Amino acid sequence: MRGKRHGRLRRAGALLLAGGLALAGSGCGQGAPAARSEIRIGVCIYDEYDTFINRLMKRFSQDVTEWNEGGGTRVSITTGNAAASQTTQNEQVKSMIQEECDVICVNLVDRTDPSIIIDAAREADIPIIFFNRELVEEDLERWDRLYYVGADAFQSGMIQGLEVVDLYESEPRTDLNGDGILQYVMLEGEAGHQDSIVRTEYSVNTILNAGIPMEKLESSIANWNRAQAQTRMSHMLDLYEDRIELVLANNDDMALGAIDEYKAREIPRDKWPLILGIDGTDVGLEALQKGELSGTVYNDKEGQADAMLDLCIRLALGESLEDLPLKDNKYIRLEYEAVTRENVEDFLERAAE
Amino acid sequence: MDKRIIRLRDRLYEAAGIQTAIAVSFTLIFSLVIVLLSLVLYSQFSARSRGMNIDSTERFLNQTRTSLEDYLRSMRRFSDAMYYTSIKNSDLDESGLYSELNLMYEANKDDLISFAIFSDDGTLISAVPVSVRKEGADPSSQEWFQAAMEEVENLHFSVPHVQNLFEETAGQYHWVISLSRSIQLTRGGVPGMGVLLVDMNFSRIAQMLARANEDSSYQYIYLCDRDGSIIYHPRQRLIEEGLFREDALAAASRPDGTYENIGSGQGQITVVKTVSYTGWKLISVIPEAGWQLGMGRFRYLVILLISLTLIGVIGITQLVSRQISRPLLQLNESVRDLESGNLYPEIYIGGSREVRHLGQTVEASVRRIRALMQDLVVQQELKRQSELDALQSQINPHFLYNTLDSVVWMIEGGHDQEAVRMIGDLASLLRISISQGRTIIPVADEIRHARAYMEIQKIRYRNTFEVDFEVSPEVESMATVKLIIQPILENAIYYGVREMDGEGEIRVRAYLEGGDVWIDVEDNGIGIPEDQAKRLLTERSRELVHGNGVGLLNVHSRIRLRFGQDYGLVIESEPDEGTRVRIHLPAIPYRETLEAELSSGAGKEGADGEQG
Amino acid sequence: MENRDNIYLIPLAVILILLAVWSATEFFELTQSDHRPVIAVLVEDSESGRWTQLRLGLEQAQQDYNLRIRFVQTGRYESVEDQLVQAGAAAKEGADGIFLIPVGSEGTQEGLSDLAFSRMVVLGETDAVKDTSEGNRIAVACPDNRAMGADLVRMALREEGKTPRTAGILSGNQDQAGLRDRLEGARDFLEAQGVSVIWDRPRSGSLADELNGLEEPDMILALEDEALLAAADWKQAAGAGTGLYGIGCSNTLAWLLDRGIIGGVIVPDEFGMGYRSAAMIADRLEIRSVPLQDITLSYTEVTPANMYEESIERLLFPEIE
């Protein structure tokens, strides 16, 4: 009698167990990820309307397409545009982590606020390559799988300054009022942005160190934006009219905005001041070619894009990073180059590749 | 109704046996309790959970509303600050204003796209950060401008739209909510009217609401104005394409609160909160379907637990009922054994105290039954024996021979009349002796029998003695065992008066005394010695059974067998004086059914019925 | 003897055990329902801004139907066979449904028939697959291309005001049946209106150069997005005054309309294409017996006059930044 009762229980128990195991097994089977046959890269840019970033991304995409055609492990990219909101960018990075990206490239909106991204990445053990907008060193050192690809901002400022010095010396008409002092206005990128500050500072100091006295008429923030720069330029023209001898802009877009205003006011070309930018975007190079822009500094987007992709692929496949020019095991910096009317053609060709 | 249930239950008990009855009852009760409890708890939990869900939704909605209101308020303050501190008291033609505006913009640029000042004909006076007008854009025809000019005293919030005022980088556009107001401004000393436009970054609000909608997969929050035009909805495109229905107007026209099922076919809870100053409505929708889905897991868990528990309950009650009933069932088996005739069954003694007790009692009862049965057997034996003896005496050969000899002798002697009388007495005697096989006859018959016997004996013993019968009439109808007087008379003759040569006297008296029947047979013979008298009724002495068969002991036994231990013979004797043998019977009026009634030896009680 | 009475318990116990197993199954299933079906999306040049509307539609469906949308990274396809091979690869990697816009219509049907056996397939924009025996596995989501072509011409003529006499047509990827339909619709209407088509060019690598070499018509009609944008670029660079109208959905259209570079555009409902296709696939994955159905999409006329209207705004400016 005892045996019979136990027998029934045992049967029930066995049935339940079998059923549960079968379910768990089938469920697991379905949910298991397919074998890694593809590298997923996530890219978060800070603003898709920033010309430089835009072109950088184009090059990056081209590189990826070439790589895929070359037959390596397939690479796919997911992009996110943060529209200048760090919050949005944080969300984008998080969802890329969830979608199991192998590497994420982040063009940080607010360089003082990378914590959420770094923490999320570290938790998921997904390496991050910051690019173009640089973090403070301390933040980059919070984890050993954080990298930075970009250039040294101070270099661009310096080169811009050197170009001014060259132009000043070679074109005396620069000093419009002949007082021996260079009156200039500054179009800055962002308040508190490191690149902005550094470019501004180094540019001006380089000129000063070359022995050219300067007088700052005005400095405004135009948020790297062409239209805003145009507006600022308009205001500055209202204030200073033709006293402006030099317009220094932290990037080409803003320089072009200044040019737009001069064109809109139909001020004759020979009355224009020197206008210089930084980046060497295609529109900038064209303006330089036309003589509207006086000079720019080439930000090697091709080199950066190539380096980024290379680093991404190596990280994703777990290959060695030894032969990469990694400074401190984290930084890949590319060089800026001066672009003047003389060598602008070369750069135009390079950009067309 | 109750009776029917009780009857049903009893029938169940009777039909199914104790183990099943216990098992079923327990199972039913447990199951009922478990299921009831589960249902109650589940529905409680469900209701509570739902209530909590609604509570937390309301709270969350409140929070979202507060954030939204904070944002809108700060924008309003900004507009106020701009107007009252900067614009109102300055002359717009002077340029100092511009840097103030710039400052304000930089400080708030996360929340703003731009702000601008227009004159009342739509001319752009000043704008930050971009003031390059877009060709073809006409501010005065845009909704925010017209609304501001219509209601000069109020700030006006527009619905979200794409800013169509300034030059943008190719392809760039901004979704904004325009906060516009009519202003007084001064240009070159000339006062006039204009419009101050603050274009708020709509993505801020959109993000706020998108984040609010992140957590739950089925409930969502949306924002609309008081006419039901949707400002932000997580499925806005779908609504426009007709792939999703949202009756925002119905919800927006209600005052703040929690409602069920407004404007939709399916069940849903709608929570409405008004955002102050703008009249916008923040609405949260909890569709029942999603809620049900959320509860789905829980429901399956409950069912799983209930079924597992019930299986356990069934198993346990089986075990318990078996434990309880096994001793009883074993005891039952023993009793069945007994029923089937085994007088020496092995009675199961075991189980709980009570069952043990039952077993022991059964055992004792069995023993008693055995004893009683043996007694019964003995008694039946006795009865049979004495019947047999009585039967024997009915047809005693010696008596018959002698009497017939006497008859022959009489006939040969020519004493025909006496021979006839003797034959008649003999016939009477025999008739009553047989009495149609009955053992219970009326006293009257018994007396007749005795009389006939004595007549015969008188003739045979040639008046050795005298006989006298004194029978009171009440006694005659009473019942008695047959052939009890004759043996005593026989003894009286043989042992009592036979030697007395005509001086012997035998008297038979029958009367009622003390409610009983007494029949005394007295003789004045030699008597019986005391010690013998005692032994007469207690031993089966062979000496007293003299040829004629039935002894006093036999009579005594038979009376007691029929009527009980209280009755029988009483022997009183004085040597040389006489002997009186008294027959003590109960006074039971004779009826024919007494034969059966008294045959089991029930005694006076049984025969009399009510009287005890 | 005792057990005989308990026979009744056995069916009861069996029922309870079944109930327990069933509810355990359902419970585990719900816990495990984090398995989201995967829909692979194959369109040419996947990163292009031309697909913004499609992506939004797919993302919305992803949310609503608990799916995972995988946009396969692509550039230009050499041929439709490459695309089909990719589709096969995607299926092998675990995609439950496939949405693709085939770059050519010939051979699509046969190439997909194997795939369609095991997966849900929806084709966009082209009615390459009409009456097929695989009709219940492959469905098509597209607008009425012929009507769209005709309506494009109608809109263009209306916007131009004076009736143009000559027109040039950029006919896009003529390998696609959908575009052939548009071309037919446009041509028929033009003929009916007495406008002569002086040239028509399918897509090519250097449209700008081609255009420079062609006679400038009164108006240019571009039948697909890429052609429209290329023509817009050319028009800007060349400073031409030709009226330009087309069919497209890129997110730079608004700016071009604003500037007057494009006179009017017909925008097919690509959001709906993405959303409804994904939604249908999701539904069918639940109930496999019901066949996929063709989806007819709508399209909207957008001109500088109406581009800032509320509902059209949302079409032209899809992303709230």
Q: Are residues B434 and B574 in the same domain?
A: yes
Closest CA to A164 of A189, A184, A188, A180: A184
Query: What distance in Å separates the CA atoms of residue C105 and residue C79, rounded to the nearest whole number?
Result: 10
Helices (H), B522-583: 530-536, 552-563
Query: Which fold would CATH assign to domain A38-151+301-334?
Result: Rossmann fold (3.40.50)
| Beta carbon pairs, A and B, within 8 Å | 59
Mean pLDDT score, C300-313: 89
| Strand, coil or helix: A282 | helix
Judging by DSSP bridges, how do beta strands B220-224 and B175-187 pair with one another?
unpaired
Closest CA to C252 of C219, C270, C226: C226
Helices (H), B340-435: 353-394, 397-412, 416-434
Mean pLDDT score, C217-237: 89
Q: How confident is the model over A13-53, as pLDDT tens digits?
A: 555 554 444 444 444 433 333 335 788 999 999 988 888 99
Q: Are residues B361 and B300 in the same domain?
A: no
Closest CA to B469 of B505, B435, B439: B505
The pLDDT assigned to A257 comes to 95
Closest CA to A351 of B353, C111, A337, B457: A337
Q: Are residues B546 and B590 in the same domain?
A: yes
Q: Domain map of chain A by residue range?
A: 38-151+301-334, 154-299
Structure tokens at A84: 């200048």
Task: Give a yes or no: residue B244 inside a domain.
Answer: no
C148 near C139, Cβ under 8 Å?
no
**Within 10 A of C58 (CB to CB), how many other CB atoms are there?**
26
Q: Scanning the structure block, which residue is given the tokens 């046969």?
A: C110
Query: What distance in Å separates the CA atoms of residue C297 and residue C273, rounded to the nearest whole number?
Result: 7
Q: Residue C127 — pLDDT band, cuts 50, 70, 90? A: low
Query: What distance in Å separates the CA atoms of residue C8 and residue B20, rounded to the nearest whole number?
Result: 10
| E strands present in B498-597 | 504-513, 516-523, 568-574, 578-586
Query: What distance in Å separates the CA atoms of residue B266 and residue B251, rounded to the nearest whole number?
Result: 15
| Residue of C23, C31, C269, C302 to mutate, testing the B interface (most B Cβ within 10 Å of its Cβ) | C23
Fold: same for C38-143+270-298 and C145-248: yes
Query: What distance in Å separates the CA atoms of residue B548 and residue B494, rounded to the nearest whole number?
Result: 10
Distances from the Cα of A229 to the Cαs of A247, A251, A257, B114, B500, in angstroms?
A: 11, 10, 5, 14, 178
Q: Are residues B471 and B575 in the same domain?
A: yes
The domain of B349 spans 338-372
| Residue of B113, B114, B135, B173 to mutate, testing the C interface (most C Cβ within 10 Å of its Cβ) | B173
Question: Does C298 contact A at CB distance below 8 Å?
Answer: no
Q: Are residues B350 and B322 in the same domain?
A: no
Closest CA to C266 of C245, C243, C247, C244: C247
Q: Are residues B359 and B413 in the same domain?
A: no
User: Which secondary-structure segment (H or E) carries B206?
Assistant: helix B202-212
C182 near C153, Cβ under 8 Å?
no
| CB contact set of B393 (below 8 Å; sequence gap of 6+) | B433, B483, B486, B487, B548, B549, B550
Query: What distance in Å separates the CA atoms of residue C101 and residue C173, rounded to the nearest whole number?
Result: 12
Chains touching A by CB (3 or more pairs below 8 Å): B, C
Give me the residues of B, 13-72, that contact C with CB < 8 A.
16-17, 19-20, 23
Torsion angles phi and psi, residue C194, rounded to 5:
80, 25
- A1 with C2: Cβ contact below 8 A: yes
Query: What distance in Å separates the CA atoms of residue A256 and residue A279, rounded to the nearest whole number?
Result: 12
Helices (H), A125-193: 137-140, 153-170
Q: In what order do the strands lie in the sheet with A182-188?
A: A214-221, A182-188, A246-249, A274-276
- A19 with C3: Cβ contact below 8 A: no
Q: Residue B182 — pLDDT band, cuts 50, 70, 90? A: very high
What is the nearest CA distance from B194 to chain A, expressed in angstroms? 21
Q: How confident is the model over C146-198, as pLDDT tens digits?
A: 999 999 999 998 988 877 788 899 988 888 888 888 999 999 999 998 888 98
Mean pLDDT score, B534-556: 62
Torsion angles phi and psi, residue B254, rounded to 5:
-90, 150
Q: How confident is the model over C81-92, as pLDDT tens digits?
A: 888 888 888 888
Question: Does C24 contact A at CB distance below 8 Å?
Answer: yes
- C255 with B168: Cβ contact below 8 A: yes
Asked which of B205, B232, B247 is the last residue of a domain, the reply is B205
- B130 with A231: Cβ contact below 8 A: yes
**Within 10 A of B405 (CB to CB), how many other CB atoms are there?**
11
Structure tokens at B460: 């045979």
Tell me which of B18 and C6 has the higher pLDDT: B18
B334 near B345, Cβ under 8 Å?
yes
- Number of folded domains that form chain B: 4
| CB contact set of A252 (below 8 Å; sequence gap of 6+) | A51, A52, A277, A278, A279, A280, A281, A283, A284, A287, A293, A296
Q: Residue A1 — pLDDT band, cuts 50, 70, 90? A: very low
Q: Whole-angstrom distance between the N-terminal and C-terminal Cα of chain A?
A: 89
Q: Scanning the structure block, which residue is given the tokens 């199972």?
A: B27
Burial of B135 (0-12, 13-18, 19+ CB in 10 A): exposed
3-state SS of A189-216? Answer: CCCCCHHHHHHHHHHHHHHHHCCCCEEE
Structure tokens at A207: 């000129």
B209 near B220, Cβ under 8 Å?
no
Packing angle between helix A194-209 and helix A153-170, nearest 10 degrees? 40
> Across chain C, what does the average pLDDT equal?
83
On the question of pLDDT at C75 being above 50, the answer is: yes
Q: How confident is the model over A154-163, as pLDDT tens digits?
A: 999 999 999 9
Q: How confident is the model over A274-299, as pLDDT tens digits?
A: 999 999 998 999 999 999 999 999 99
Tell me the helices (H) and strands (E) count for chain C, helix number first: 12, 12
| Residue of A5, A219, A237 to mutate, testing the B interface (most B Cβ within 10 Å of its Cβ) | A5
User: Which secondary-structure segment (H or E) carries B248?
Assistant: helix B248-252
Residue C268: strand pairing partners:
C299
> Across chain B, what does the average pLDDT equal?
83
Q: Are residues B56 and B190 in the same domain?
A: no
Closest CA to C139 of C155, C154, C125: C125
Query: Which fold would CATH assign to domain C38-143+270-298?
Result: Rossmann fold (3.40.50)
Mean pLDDT score, B480-502: 82
Q: Are residues B366 and B394 in the same domain?
A: no
Torsion angles phi and psi, residue A312, rounded to 5:
-55, -50
| CB contact set of C191 (below 8 Å; sequence gap of 6+) | none
Query: What distance in Å separates the CA atoms of residue C108 and residue C81, rounded to the nearest whole number?
Result: 8
| Closest Cβ–Cβ partner in B173, B238, B301 for C27 | B301
ipTM of model: 0.83
Mean pLDDT score, B434-443: 82
Closest CA to C297 of C103, C139, C68, C159: C139
The pLDDT assigned to A27 comes to 40
Q: Encode burial over A314-351: b for 16+ CB neighbours within 10 A, e otherwise.
A: bbbeeeeeeeeebeeebbbbbebbbbbeeebeebbeeb
The pLDDT assigned to B540 comes to 58
- B296 with C9: Cβ contact below 8 A: no
Query: What distance in Å separates the CA atoms of residue A256 and residue A227, rounded to the nearest whole number?
Result: 9
**Chain B residue with minimum CA distance to A265:** B132
Query: Which fold would CATH assign to domain A154-299?
Result: Rossmann fold (3.40.50)
3-state SS of A296-320? Answer: EEEECHHHHHHHHHHHHHHHHHCCC
| Beta carbon pairs, A and C, within 8 Å | 54
Q: Are residues B478 and B574 in the same domain?
A: yes
Kindly report whether the global pTM for this prediction surpasses the value 0.80.
no
Closest CA to C314 of B239, B243, B111, B283: B239
Which range scores top for mean pLDDT: A25-39, A313-327, B17-31, C8-22?
A: A313-327
- Please work out, in degrees rounded to the nearest 5, the angle formed at the alpha carbon of residue B303 by the alpha carbons of B299 and B306: 135
Identify all chain B residues contacting C304, using CB atoms and an 8 Å cutoff: 136
Packing angle between helix B18-80 and helix B202-212, nearest 10 degrees? 170
Identify all chain B residues contacting A226, using CB atoms and an 8 Å cutoff: 169
Identify all chain A residues contacting B203, using CB atoms and an 8 Å cutoff: 83, 85, 88
Task: Give a yes or no: residue B578 inside a domain.
Answer: yes
The pLDDT assigned to B264 comes to 61
B18 near B355, Cβ under 8 Å?
no
Query: What distance in Å separates the CA atoms of residue B316 and residue B303, rounded to the nearest whole number?
Result: 20
Asked which of B316, B348, B372 is the last residue of a domain, the reply is B372
Residue A332: strand pairing partners:
A149
Q: Which residues of B touch A (CB under 8 A)?
A: 95, 98, 102, 106, 109-110, 127-132, 166-169, 171-172, 203, 207, 308, 311, 315, 318-319, 322
Structure tokens at C77: 């396809």
Query: What distance in Å separates the CA atoms of residue B274 and residue B491, rounded to the nearest whole number?
Result: 132
**Chain C residue with minimum CA distance to B220:** C64
| Beta carbon pairs, B and C, within 8 Å | 107
- B235 with C19: Cβ contact below 8 A: no
Task: Give a yes or no: residue B170 inside a domain.
Answer: yes
- Please work out, in degrees rounded to the nearest 5, the angle formed at the alpha carbon of residue A181 by the alpha carbons of A178 and A184: 110
| Closest Cβ–Cβ partner in B16, B236, B311 for C13 | B311
For chain B, what percent of residues have pLDDT higher than 70? Answer: 91
Question: Does C270 contact B at CB distance below 8 Å?
Answer: no
The pLDDT assigned to A94 comes to 93
**Does CATH place domain C145-248 in 3.40.50.2300?**
yes
Q: Encode burial over A76-95: b for 16+ CB neighbours within 10 A, e otherwise.
A: bbbbbbbbbbbbbbbbbbee
R_g of chain B, CA atoms, integer Å: 64
The pLDDT assigned to B605 comes to 47
Q: Are residues B19 and B155 in the same domain?
A: no
Q: Are residues B346 and B428 in the same domain?
A: no
